[in-house]
């Protein structure tokens, strides 16, 4: 936790982490998703179900695995995992940045964070409870940001992307995975199912380009889409 404090805009004077993660949100939860899917991810049983299902799915589907290569991570880097859930990707990032680096997982779900902090304990991994729409981090502090299957649950995904890019250092890389709408009948019926929205094929790429990212590219498998980008310079 001591390694996280220098990244925070307003670090607590007496930080504690009784459940293994630092809580920067407390009861000040506002404007977050109140749909069925997020309610499930906020419950202990939902966090457990997701953890097992995601681990199994990642063994089968390469597209769901950690975007480590696209993030250009080096030993000693700081990597941020937004909507980290049970922390499997955060742990993969921690292995890449090594003992001198830091992987920080952020989520709003106490159940997910409790599970993540319990399962993944190492000096170079930390978990923080915070809202992706208002990251409590200083500008230009991390070398890479990823957000895997989290943006569709965030009421203001554009604000969340702006925050991810704000905290990314010039030279850093972003990798975001979202569910997207297929053209045809599936796309017409699925949007907003259970409070989880679907994006169009160009929405994320257009947004991050609008925030100044360069080398923006996408990769798609069925309804799952990755968007990658590179922050060249600090924002004005
Ligand atoms: C489908 S899970 C994905 C977990 C993880 N990225 C993975 O791939 O294993 C989505 C996560 O986003 C989190 N989330 C939803 N809204 C959030 C917000 N406003 N800020 C931070 N995390 C949020 C949920 O609590 C949930 O743990």
Q: What is the pLDDT of residues 93-138, one digit of tens each?
A: 999 999 999 999 999 999 999 999 999 999 999 999 999 999 999 9
pLDDT at 63 (0 to 100): 86
Rounded distance, CA 233 to CA 236, Å?
A: 9
pTM: 0.94
pLDDT in tens, 56-96: 999 998 888 889 999 999 999 999 999 999 999 999 999 99
Q: Is the CB of 66 under 6 A from ligand 1?
A: no
**Token pair of 197, please?**
């929205």
Instruction: For the chain, list the domains and their CATH numbers.
Output: 31-230 (3.40.50.150)
Q: Is the CB of 78 under 6 A from ligand 1?
A: no
Closest by alpha carbon to 219, among 60, 59, 70, 58? 70
Ligand 1 centroid to Cα of residue 151, in Å, is: 8
Give mean pLDDT, residues 202-220: 96
pLDDT in tens, 18-27: 999 999 998 8
- 121 in Cβ contact with 94 (< 8 Å): no
Ligand 1 centroid to Cα of residue 132, in Å, is: 9
Q: Is the CB of 116 under 6 A from ligand 1?
A: no
| Whether residue 146 has pLDDT greater than 60 | yes
What 8-state DSSP symbol labels residue 210? H
Considering the chain, what percentage of its residues have pLDDT values greater than 90?
Answer: 81
Q: Is the CB of 135 under 6 A from ligand 1?
A: no
Q: Is the CB of 83 under 6 A from ligand 1?
A: yes
pLDDT at 188 (0 to 100): 53
| Whether residue 182 has pLDDT greater than 80 | no
- 181 in Cβ contact with 190 (< 8 Å): yes
CA distances to 18, 60, 180 from 201, rounded to whole Å, are 41, 24, 6
Would you place residue 53 in the very low, low, confident or very high pLDDT band (cuts 50, 70, 90)? very high
Q: Which residue has the least CA distance to atom 15 on ligand 1?
A: 153
Q: Which of 30-44, 189-203, 213-227 comes out lowest in average pLDDT?
A: 189-203
| Whether residue 186 has pLDDT greater than 60 | no
For residue 112, the ligand 1 atom closest to its alpha carbon is 27
Ligand 1 centroid to Cα of residue 107, in Å, is: 6
pLDDT at 192 (0 to 100): 64
The DSSP-derived string for 96-148 is: HH-TTSEEEEEES-HHHHHHHHHH---TTEEEEE--GGG--BPTT-EEEEEEE
Rounded distance, CA 158 to CA 133, Å?
A: 8
**Dihedral sign of CA atoms 116, 38, 36, 63 in order:** negative
Closest by alpha carbon to 130, among 213, 30, 198? 30
- 173 in Cβ contact with 49 (< 8 Å): no
Rounded distance, CA 192 to CA 18, Å?
A: 35
- 86 in Cβ contact with 51 (< 8 Å): yes
What 8-state DSSP symbol labels residue 39? H
Ligand 1 centroid to Cα of residue 194, in Å, is: 14
Q: Is the CB of 51 under 6 A from ligand 1?
A: no
pLDDT at 206 (0 to 100): 97
pLDDT in tens, 187-197: 555 556 678 88
- Residue 72's CB is within 10 A of a number of other CB atoms, namely 15
| Whether residue 234 has pLDDT greater than 80 | no
pLDDT at 193 (0 to 100): 66
For residue 109, the ligand 1 atom closest to its alpha carbon is 25
Would you place residue 233 in the very low, low, confident or very high pLDDT band (cuts 50, 70, 90)? confident
Would you place residue 184 in the very low, low, confident or very high pLDDT band (cuts 50, 70, 90)? low
Taking all residues of the chain, what is their mean pLDDT, rounded to a whole number? Answer: 92
Question: What backbone torsions phi and psi does residue 158 show, to the nearest 5 degrees?
Answer: -70, -40
CA distances to 60, 61, 88, 143, 200 from 56, rounded to whole Å, are 7, 9, 12, 29, 27
């Amino acid at each position: 936790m001591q390694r996280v404090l220098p990244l925070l805009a307003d670090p607590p004077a007496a930080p504690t982490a009784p459940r293994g993660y630092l809580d920067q949100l407390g009861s000040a939860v506002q404007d977050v998703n109140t749909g069925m899917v997020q309610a499930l991810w906020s419950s202990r049983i939902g966090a457990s179900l997701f953890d097992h299902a995601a681990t199994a799915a990642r063994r089968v589907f390469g597209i769901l695995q950690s975007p480590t290569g696209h993030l250009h991570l080096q030993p000693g880097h700081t990597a941020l995992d937004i909507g980290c859930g049970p922390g499997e990707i955060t742990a993969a990032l921690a292995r890449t940045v090594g003992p001198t680096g830091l992987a920080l997982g952020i989520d709003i779900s106490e159940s997910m964070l409790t599970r993540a902090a319990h399962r993944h304990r190492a000096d170079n991994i930390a978990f923080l409870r915070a809202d992706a729409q208002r990251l409590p981090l200083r500008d230009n502090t991390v070398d890479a940001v990823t957000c895997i299957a989290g943006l569709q649950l965030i009421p203001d995904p554009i604000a969340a992307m702006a925050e991810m890019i704000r905290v990314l250092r010039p030279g850093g890389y972003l990798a975001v995975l979202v569910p997207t709408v297929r053209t045809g009948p599936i796309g017409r019926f699925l949007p907003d199912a259970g409070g989880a929205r679907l994006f169009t094929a160009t929405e994320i790429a257009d947004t991050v380009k609008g925030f100044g990212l360069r080398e923006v590219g996408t990769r798609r498998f069925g309804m799952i889409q990755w968007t990658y980008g590179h922050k060249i310079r600090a924002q004005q």
